[in-house]
Amino acid sequence: MADVSLTVNGKAVRVDVDPRTPLLWVLREQLGLTGTKYGCGIAQCGACTVSLDGDAVRACVTPVSRAADRRVVTVEGLSSDRSHPVQRAWLEEQVPQCGYCQSGQIMATCVLLTKVRRPTDEQIDQALAGNLCRCGTYHRIRKAVHRAAELTEEGGGPR
């Protein structure tokens, strides 16, 4: 066991865990942030995607030690009232079906939009290629990413 310090959704936190523990379990079990989902556990589905210092990472295969002294953002950290541009676009386009993959899709989109302000269809497909949706919402996700890019430009950028 070891003390690991990290910043999660803007708050400094310390957890006493085996440093090899996947970040996903620290988020869900130690911190109660269950918006980040467990799908495959082997970096194949993207359900557990979070932002780590602005990059999309698979929390299921990221040891918490890799997040030490770094900034993690989960879907809970986007806004307290669904006002983040990506959340607003998701609602406008009514993207989710079962919803299971969606926090990972949303976090991958947030990271994409901080790197590319107006992504093309190809850039969207490439950025989200590792995020699988069993319900097949890909068409609506793509529309929502374009809408989120518009809302971001109007509103000053995603966090």
Give whichever of 78 and 128 is closer to ligand FES, judged by the CB atom. Answer: 128
Least distance in angstroms from the C-beta of 156 to ligand FES: 29
- Using alpha carbons, select from 142, 159, 134 the residue that is nearest to residue 89: 142
Give whichever of 51 and 137 is closer to ligand FES, judged by the CB atom. Answer: 137
Q: For binding to ligand FES (CB under 6 A), which residues are involved?
A: 38-41, 43-48, 58, 60, 96-102, 133-135, 137
Least distance in angstroms from the C-beta of 50 to ligand FES: 10
Give whichever of 91 and 98 is closer to ligand FES, judged by the CB atom. Answer: 98
Give whichever of 12 and 109 is closer to ligand FES, judged by the CB atom. Answer: 109
Q: For 71-89, b where at least 16 C-beta lie within 10 A, e where not — what string? A: ebbbbbbbeeeeebbbbbb
> Which residue(s) pair with 52 in the sheet?
55, 72
Let me know: does 123 contact 38? Beta carbons within 8 Å. Answer: no
Least distance in angstroms from the C-beta of 3 to ligand FES: 25
59 vs 68: CA distance, rounded Å: 13
- Using alpha carbons, select from 61, 42, 40 the residue that is nearest to residue 50: 61
69 vs 84: CA distance, rounded Å: 25
> Which residue(s) pair with 2 in the sheet?
17
Give whichever of 80 and 124 is closer to ligand FES, judged by the CB atom. Answer: 124
In this structure, what DSSP letter does residue 63 have? B
Least distance in angstroms from the C-beta of 148 to ligand FES: 17
Least distance in angstroms from the C-beta of 76 to ligand FES: 17
